Chain A
């Protein structure tokens, strides 16, 4: 492969932000017809490298050559025009426009000066058919799932004659089937000779599709490796730069005494709780010190369950008891008052206030419970914020930085810190480790184990079965907005059984147990 000429070469790229050397002499090569995984922890410089490549940022040093010609794009538009297209993690299309309009926005087929709508629809359909996506292109893009939106974004990118396609965390909000579909599309594009840069946190996907891997760490190049020659554990070591037996250590901690935890009165008990059009009535108890894992595919009703417990949505059926007392949790204020905390999976839209500082975001929930007339004293703020920045190693450790400037993993930690300082009794974590690097992921997992050891109840939602199994005492399986199984996490429970429950509805699982 290396005899061929690379379509893209980046040499000795450096990029400096105030106080941070985001990239330091990084090299990167990309050959036509390959999938090249760009790996690294949060803050390793992956996003910056991509933004430098696509002209979002200028470089402070280094050269970029495309097809042997030195280039320097003034912006993503220029990059796209030159054949370098990017599909970002958060799809940046217009959800209110139709699928066809999104694909052809800015380059609408015209006839006599007016937009030729029929032609646009026809071509959109054709284009999507090529990646086996058969949807109504006149519907607003926002009415489709994230996966479909992502594929539309890819179709658009490819259609503008991309030779280099950059996929920045395309799979982080997709479920297994959708990932498989996306990987299939990627293979197809690769076989057409397109060079694909694949940024992801999912090792399985990297080993499933990537031809080569480039690893970055702290803004420096660690190395470029053919996938076949780099075992997974070696890759993780290179990304983290330290021995990683943390995961195994956690495993040994998981042998906690479930019988003792669930002996007493449940902290929270839902009895036939449900909401029409959102989630079918379910019954579920959570004890103090218990970690309940909520598994299921995307859209199976996991988040909806969490929202009912937190009062983010109002239940219209069933009862909820806290400490054995019947309670109606009508809104988040009521939930927080009873010691429930909820870290939403949508950090940006439902979690943080991007414009406010790390400090303000951390104290927001505590301040809300005190009311605006009783501000948290500055000294106490400093103390709490400093303690949690240290405890969760939030980086950069600057309490006054606007939180939107932080990387995804660090934003997640800020959100966690917000709830931890309220000392909740039930902590609901919705996909707390999504889209963040392995190091931060392990930290958060370890934290969950610690918190539950300390007596906190945790409702842990995750698309990753391994993670759910490692942490939970009890695994609750959701399917099609119904709670279909509650499985004790004893020695007999493994990913296969949970998967079967997810797939089949697993009524017989419960029968077997009974």
Chain B
């Protein structure tokens, strides 16, 4: 048995092992409850099924969480992503609603460009507060978290802006190559961020700044620029997520778009194995984390769990996920399971299976 364990060690020791186990368990639970859960079918050249729905619905969260991963890796945090999503969604919808032809592709692209540009400015604002002025990230971004909500409501004049624009709607509910367009956008942005951080030296430099800011400065890293950059990237990701959320419902509600998404995003990053203290970050982990959170939300609805207990149910699962991932907790559990270790004999074998 111990040789089996030894063989499995590289698998069970992998960073993504426990998050993936949790995801599989959640999916399995859904399947038990509703056997058709896993089925995916092709209708009119488009894929349908609960799994596709989960990925599509998690797309905005994945986007926000990607940006959040980079911010957290520098040792910061970005609470303003929900508000940035709301502002950019509101601006895009406002611009489109004022056009004579809401279905004009040019108008939609212009709307996206304006909204995206303003989101970059908002990101730069965060970055300047943190890197330039030196305000603690949690406070600096709290400012925009609150002010951004106000800004979004100003833009929508406190109303819900409804639009009727097919091209814009596509961002949220359209299909391309049998897949929902939202999934393709999320995939593309993921690839982009991965290339941006791992094909250049940006990822390593972010990790150096987050791991030891002073040592990085003394190694000649312009850490302020890097910090500024990650807040801009985070806002850019949030803006795209904002487009998606507003396109989903063809309307912008300054109050509701992206509400609490920052918390889900932080959670996704942490579940994915990135430490809140900064340093190493794991984009793949973040995505698994985002999928876990969305699966959880979907399960709550699919299993008809009493809406009043939804939040509590989610909290319990999240605590379980975090505990399962903590090596210290698992070790304690294992010790209780097997209080009497087999004596002397297997010492040699134990030596071999010490996880690296």
Please report A residues at the B interface, Cβ cutoff 8 Å. 16-18, 60-61, 310, 312, 331-333, 335-336, 342, 344, 349-356, 360, 364-365, 367-370, 372-376, 418
**Interchain CB contact (< 8 A) of B215 among A60, A331, A350, A370:** A350
Q: Is the CB of B212 within 8 A of A332?
A: no
Asked if B207 lies at the interface with its beta carbon under 8 angstroms from chain A, I say yes
What 6 A-B pairs are tightest by C-beta distance, nearest first? A368-B220, A353-B211, A375-B201, A336-B220, A372-B202, A353-B212
Main secondary structure of the interface of A (DSSP, over half): mixed
Q: How far is the CB of A359 from chain B (nearest CB, A)?
A: 10
Q: Is the CB of B214 within 8 A of A355?
A: no
**Interchain CB contact (< 8 A) of A351 among B218, B221, B226, B347:** B218
Known contacts A350-B218, A364-B216; A355 and B201 CB within 8 A of each other: no
Main secondary structure of the interface of B (DSSP, over half): helix
Bound: A376/B280 CA distance, A: 19
Bound: A332/B279 CA distance, A: 22
Q: Is the CB of B218 within 8 A of A332?
A: yes
Q: How far is the CB of A215 from chain B (nearest CB, A)?
A: 26
Among residues of B, the one whose C-beta sits closest to the C-beta of A402 is B280
Bound: A355/B213 CA distance, A: 12
Q: Count of B residues near A, CB < 8 Å? A: 27
Known contacts A332-B217, A364-B219, A369-B220; A356 and B208 CB within 8 A of each other: yes
Chain A residues with CB under 8 Å of B133's CB are none
Chain B residues with CB under 8 Å of A61's CB are 347
Q: Is the CB of A367 within 8 A of B211?
A: no
Q: How far is the CB of A268 from chain B (nearest CB, A)?
A: 18
**Interchain CB contact (< 8 A) of A372 among B220, B226, B279, B351:** B226
Q: How far is the CB of A56 from chain B (nearest CB, A)?
A: 15
Q: Is the CB of B218 within 8 A of A333?
A: no
Asked if B356 lies at the interface with its beta carbon under 8 angstroms from chain A, I say yes
Bound: A369/B220 CA distance, A: 7
Q: Is the CB of B212 within 8 A of A349?
A: yes
Q: Is the CB of B222 within 8 A of A376?
A: no
A-B contact pairs, 21 of them (CB 8 A): A17-B354, A312-B218, A332-B219, A333-B220, A352-B215, A353-B212, A354-B212, A356-B208, A367-B205, A368-B205, A368-B216, A368-B219, A368-B220, A369-B220, A372-B200, A372-B226, A373-B201, A374-B201, A375-B199, A375-B201, A376-B201
Q: Is the CB of B201 within 8 A of A333?
A: no
Known contacts A333-B220, A333-B222, A372-B226; A360 and B204 CB within 8 A of each other: yes
Q: Is the CB of B200 within 8 A of A375?
A: yes
Chain B residues with CB under 8 Å of A374's CB are 200-201
Bound: A373/B204 CA distance, A: 12
Q: Mark B33-65, 1 if CB is under 8 A from A, else 0.
A: 000000000000000000000000000000000
Among residues of B, the one whose C-beta sits closest to the C-beta of A365 is B219
Bound: A367/B216 CA distance, A: 11
Q: Is the CB of B219 within 8 A of A372?
A: no
Bound: A312/B212 CA distance, A: 15
Q: How far is the CB of A498 from chain B (nearest CB, A)?
A: 29
Q: Is the CB of A16 within 8 A of B215?
A: no
Q: Mark B54-79, 1 if CB is under 8 A from A, else 0.
A: 00000000000000000000000000
Q: Is the CB of B356 within 8 A of A18?
A: yes
Among residues of A, the one whose C-beta sits closest to the C-beta of B198 is A375
Known contacts A16-B351, A60-B351; A373 and B214 CB within 8 A of each other: no
Q: Is the CB of A355 within 8 A of B220?
A: no
Bound: A273/B354 CA distance, A: 55
Q: Is the CB of A353 within 8 A of B207?
A: yes
Q: How far is the CB of A337 from chain B (nearest CB, A)?
A: 8
Bound: A400/B152 CA distance, A: 47
Bound: A27/B212 CA distance, A: 39
Known contacts A332-B218, A332-B220; A356 and B201 CB within 8 A of each other: no
Bound: A353/B74 CA distance, A: 13
**Interchain CB contact (< 8 A) of B200 among A312, A356, A373:** A373
Chain B residues with CB under 8 Å of A356's CB are 204, 207-208, 211
| Sample of 18 more A-B contacts, CB < 8 Å, known A353-B216, A360-B204, A368-B222 | A16-B351, A16-B354, A18-B355, A312-B218, A331-B217, A332-B219, A335-B220, A351-B215, A353-B208, A353-B211, A353-B215, A354-B211, A356-B204, A364-B216, A364-B219, A372-B200, A374-B201, A418-B219
Bound: A375/B356 CA distance, A: 28
Q: Mark B183-218, 1 if CB is under 8 A from A, else 0.
A: 000000000000000011110110110011011111
Chain B residues with CB under 8 Å of A354's CB are 211-212
Bound: A367/B207 CA distance, A: 13
Bound: A372/B228 CA distance, A: 14
Q: Mark B302-320, 1 if CB is under 8 A from A, else 0.
A: 0000000000000000000
Q: How far is the CB of B75 from chain A (nearest CB, A)?
A: 12
Known contacts A349-B212, A353-B211, A354-B212; A370 and B201 CB within 8 A of each other: yes
Chain B residues with CB under 8 Å of A332's CB are 217-220
Q: Mark B145-156, 1 if CB is under 8 A from A, else 0.
A: 000000000000
Chain A residues with CB under 8 Å of B212's CB are 349, 352-354
Among residues of B, the one whose C-beta sits closest to the C-beta of A19 is B356
Chain B residues with CB under 8 Å of A373's CB are 200-202
Among residues of A, the one whose C-beta sits closest to the C-beta of B226 is A372
Chain B residues with CB under 8 Å of A349's CB are 212, 214-215
Bound: A364/B354 CA distance, A: 31
